[in-house]
Structure 1
């Protein structure tokens, strides 16, 4: 694999590895091989963004395709914000059980009795979703995988190059990485279309961040924790 691939894969892989650890502990707990409280399992959550954040920071010079100056362009930036909000509206209306791999565990900070710990976990969750996840996932899905499907020497493929196989495969895989698969496919398609339109990874990150921020506000106001 191209050496340029690893900086784009590693943050995502570390994040998913911690998810795997959490799911493994949940499985052991369900079989009564170990006994863990939900609050103990949720305390693992900060490890996910922390691992990804460290990797993103150490590898930051590798992401030459990421141009934050693109956000100074008012037209594409407004389009990215609007698309992010549109994905949010569709997402909260696409929590269909037949499109879910399993019942989402959710992230209910109410399980923490200590108020300061509860607030800290909420802030970590929001920062993770809005900043770390948005950057990490767009680098992996839109910058790496979308191009890698076109050509394993992905760095030779211009950012935002379109082919039907890469568009559809990436969208389906993006959906499978989320509990609500159909909503995930929709979001994956939307962010990829934004990339094709703007040729800007920064605009995709912005749209993703807007979606996740709107979802965080919605969840905190309604208590629909299954979206978290």
Structure 2
């Protein structure tokens, strides 16, 4: 399959993130290498790739920022998804175990704030941009038409929304929570026609989740 430059700009950061996630899951802990810091490498690599391709992301240009009303909706949706996410964690709502757990505690059980800062920044600032560019801007519209750049988000059909959400679900351990999140972010994008609304909602979900995880010690959600 030949991907256009626009498709590659959306797929390469995502592929790099997934490859580094897999690497973190396979690396054994040792005195010389702490796999948890590979997440910091992910933040730098993916952030760098997003910056490199930034001019290719027309939907993230300043003129496509959401209105005040759209911003409020995005924040509300992000909070609702967070609340549902932490409650949709029954055993039957999970697909296996996480490939790379993240426990930012030292041997004495103390919080490791540099690790927490890396994780939170990656989850709340980098991942929402990277994932929404891939899942919604690219994959969802590509399912609608291989010439995805020409697809108006308002005109994306149910089939594309469902199929892209299904694949999004497969990439997450909490499958039911992922379905809810995927459909919510897709709804914002299709409803407003602005990718920023999905990015902001995703960022709010991840940002609030990170704060909640650190406060409650529910590390399995990270």
Cα separation, 1, equivalents of 2:46 and 2:92: 31
Identify the residue that residue 39 of structure 2 maps to in structure 1.
45
**Could you tell me which of 98, 105, 111 is aligned with 1:110?**
105
Identify the residue that residue 13 of structure 2 maps to in structure 1.
11
8 Å Cα contact 1:49-1:132 kept in structure 2: yes
Cα separation, 1, equivalents of 2:217 and 2:101: 10
**Could you tell me which of 202, 211, 214 is aligned with 2:208?**
214
Q: Structure 1 regions of 5+ residues with no counterpart?
A: 30-34
Q: Structure 2 regions of 5+ residues with no counterpart?
A: none
Identify the residue that residue 217 of structure 2 maps to in structure 1.
223
Worse-matched range after superposition: 103-112 or 152-161: 103-112
Q: Offset at 1:70? A: 4.4
1:137 aligns with 2:131: yes
Over the aligned positions, Cα root-mean-square deviation in angstroms equals: 2.0
What TM-score does the superposition give when structure 2 sets the normalisation length? 0.91
Q: Offset at 1:3? A: 2.4
8 Å Cα contact 1:146-1:166 kept in structure 2: yes
**Could you tell me which of 78, 89, 92 is aligned with 1:84?**
78
Identify the residue that residue 94 of structure 2 maps to in structure 1.
100
Equivalent residue of 2:58, what SS?
Answer: coil
1:19–1:2 distance in 2 versus 1, CA, 3 Å: same
Cα separation, 2, equivalents of 1:169 and 1:66: 24
Q: Offset at 1:49? A: 1.6
Q: Offset at 1:18? A: 0.5
Cα separation, 2, equivalents of 1:222 and 1:156: 45
Cα separation, 2, equivalents of 1:114 and 1:49: 25
8 Å Cα contact 1:67-1:201 kept in structure 2: no
Aligned residues: 218
